[in-house]
Structure 1
């Protein structure tokens, strides 16, 4: 029996369906393609640190979700091996953040990604680099879908 080929959009939509943390963040999928995605979210009050700025962990989480969507868009379950982030500018409540993922390198076993997060003024607020391990398992086999 031949396995169905799912589009990156179908794969990411299926992931987002059960990704309750990304849903809580308010992540909205804007665009997706093989090894690529663009997501957006609004900074809410409960995302702020004690200085009234976006908590770094929230920006990290947004980038990590974008990494997961882009790296899994090929259909193979991919999991993070190593991630790092830099914060060139602050973000505040009400900001609309956009994370754009670029696939820098892809092999049978690993993928390397760069995620830039900008605010509504196109100011870069975070730069995230992520490396994933690519398993042999299909995302749809894992989730029990056909």
Structure 2
């Protein structure tokens, strides 16, 4: 199996076992080693009292993109630290796209930026995530 096939197999398995990403309605648009592009539509039950998307929705989309990108090499990676900056409001009906950029990948640590854009290609948030890469493999 080549590296792209492994990345797809890992993400397929992770998505099948990830009830929360499924509840969010995440679609995996593209995955390659160290890269994931995800998309989802913001639903009415995802907005807060100000009638804008709860910040946890964009954070969760980006967190899933981080998980898929950092695990795509076949090694189990877990989040160590994440942060997010919000630039524009998101409302019900918006379609969000999260796209990863692998900044650094080492034996133990990986660092990623995840840009979140809306259907108009406006950047609505920027997420930075750091993962710990364990020695465990997703598949034998």
- Pairing 1:1-146 to 2, within 5 Å after superposition: 7-140=6-139
3-state SS of paired residue (2:139): helix
Contiguous gaps of at least 5 residues in structure 2: none
Please give the per-residue CA displacement for 1:52-107, whole angstroms capped at 9, x wherever unaligned. Answer: 10100111111000000000000000000000000010011100100001111000
Q: CA deviation at 1:7?
A: 1.8
Q: CA deviation at 1:139?
A: 1.3
Greater shift in the superposed pair: 4-13 or 119-128: 4-13
Scaled by the length of structure 2, the TM-score of the pair is: 0.96
Q: Name the larger-Rg structure.
A: 1
Scaled by the length of structure 1, the TM-score of the pair is: 0.92
Question: What is the distance in 2 between the residues matched to 1:28 and 1:140?
Answer: 23
Q: CA RMSD in A?
A: 1.1
3-state SS of paired residue (1:140): coil
Runs of 4+ in 1 over 2 A off after TM superposition: none
Question: What is the distance in 1 between the residues matched to 2:34 and 2:28?
Answer: 14
Residue matched to 1:144: none
Equivalent residues, number: 138
